[in-house]
């Protein structure tokens, strides 16, 4: 068991990758704080972790709001008396050509996919520094942290910033033995976008992928697990692509 006795706070854990991370961490002995804006889905994840023999609590929170983040961390402390790992996973994806992105779309994207990471990281790090306890943070970047695709300039901008926020936080928090890393998934079968519900669009994506299939949440969770475990003791500030080889492929081949 690689996370025996650890407590992990996972944001956006009511679905997709966050749910996969909760289940994978629980298999390795961690207790999980399942945070999501969608209360019923968070409760579903808690039930699934319980069915698998793990221990989890749900907290309904919009992690783009400071007041909700403070409540999330205080509920985590009440439930488990402390925590060791933060996975900043909550995210949204909307599509629009650059000429049509509205100010509201831009602001919400940056709030959910970037500001939430700052708020949760600051709250977690303040606790670990105060308690002199070591901590691990894993952020959800994307292949869009480095590569653009048409129709999501606001998402790509947020995910690019995740890469630099990860590095900046890693540098500042290293003296406290808090490491901060990011994973950059390629297309992963979740509810984040309609495209993943359409077999024809999935097949078209898979044609372009060296590995020949899109990822499942567990593929991403396995790498997040490594970065959250003691195996990553000396790794900080890194963005690891988990993309079946996509970002290594020469364009047009």
- Please state the closest distance from residue 220 (CB atom) to ligand NAD, in A: 7
- Please state the closest distance from residue 162 (CB atom) to ligand NAD, in A: 8
- Please state the closest distance from residue 52 (CB atom) to ligand NAD, in A: 18
What is the C-alpha to C-alpha distance for residues 72 and 123, in angstroms, rounded to an integer? 10
Rounded alpha-carbon distances, angstroms, from residue 108 to 38, 60, 70, 92, 122: 16, 18, 20, 9, 20
- Please state the closest distance from residue 64 (CB atom) to ligand NAD, in A: 5
Q: Among residues 27, 5, 25, 28, which one has the least CA distance to residue 81?
A: 5
State which residue, 61 or 124, has the beta carbon closest to ligand NAD: 61
What is the C-alpha to C-alpha distance for residues 155 and 180, in angstroms, rounded to an integer? 21
Catalytic residue (one of 147, 155, 176, 234): 155
- Please state the closest distance from residue 176 (CB atom) to ligand NAD, in A: 25
Q: Dihedral (C-alpha) 163, 165, 170, 172: value to the nearest 10 degrees?
A: 160
State which residue, 65 or 177, has the beta carbon closest to ligand NAD: 65
Label residue 243 exposed, middle or buried (CB < 10 Å: 0-12, 13-18, 19+).
buried
State which residue, 133 or 222, has the beta carbon closest to ligand NAD: 222
State which residue, 40 or 230, has the beta carbon closest to ligand NAD: 40
Q: Which residues sit at the interface with ligand NAD, rule CB under 6 A?
A: 11-12, 14-18, 36-38, 41, 61-64, 89-93, 112, 140, 142, 185, 187-188, 190-192
155 catalytic residue (yes or no): yes
Asked if 68 contacts 62 with a C-beta cutoff of 8 angstroms, the reply is: yes
Strand ranges for the chain from DSSP E:
7-11, 31-36, 55-60, 85-88, 135-140, 178-185, 239-242
State which residue, 14 or 135, has the beta carbon closest to ligand NAD: 14
DSSP string, 204-237: HHHHT-TTSSPBPHHHHHHHHHHHHSGGGTT--S
Distance of CA 52 to the CA centre of its chain: 22
Catalytically active residues are 155
């Amino acid at each position: 068991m690689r996370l025996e006795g650890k407590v992990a706070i996972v944001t956006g854990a009511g679905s997709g990758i966050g749910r996969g991370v909760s289940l994978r961490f629980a298999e390795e002995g961690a207790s999980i704080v399942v945070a999501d804006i969608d209360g019923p889905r968070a409760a579903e994840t808690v039930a699934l972790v319980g069915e698998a023999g793990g221990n989890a609590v749900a907290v309904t929170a919009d992690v783009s709001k400071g007041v909700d983040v403070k409540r999330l961390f205080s509920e985590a402390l009440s439930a488990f008396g402390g925590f060791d790992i933060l996975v900043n996973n909550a995210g949204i994806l909307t599509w629009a050509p650059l000429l049509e992105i509205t100010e509201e779309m831009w602001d919400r994207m940056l709030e959910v996919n970037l500001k939430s990471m700052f708020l949760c990281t600051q709250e977690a790090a303040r606790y670990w520094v105060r308690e002199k306890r070591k901590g691990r943070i894993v952020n959800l970047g994307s292949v869009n942290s480095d590569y653009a695709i048409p129709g999501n300039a606001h998402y790509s901008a947020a995910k690019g910033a995740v890469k630099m926020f990860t590095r900046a936080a890693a540098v500042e928090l290293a003296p406290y033995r808090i490491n901060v890393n990011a994973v950059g998934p390629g297309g992963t079968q979740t509810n984040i976008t309609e495209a993943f519900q359409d077999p024809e669009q999935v097949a078209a994506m898979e044609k372009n992928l060296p590995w020949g299939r899109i990822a499942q949440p567990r593929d991403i969770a396995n790498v997040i697990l490594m970065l959250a475990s003691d195996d990553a003791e000396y790794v900080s500030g890194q963005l690891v692509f988990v993309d079946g080889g996509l970002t290594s492929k020469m364009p047009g081949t």
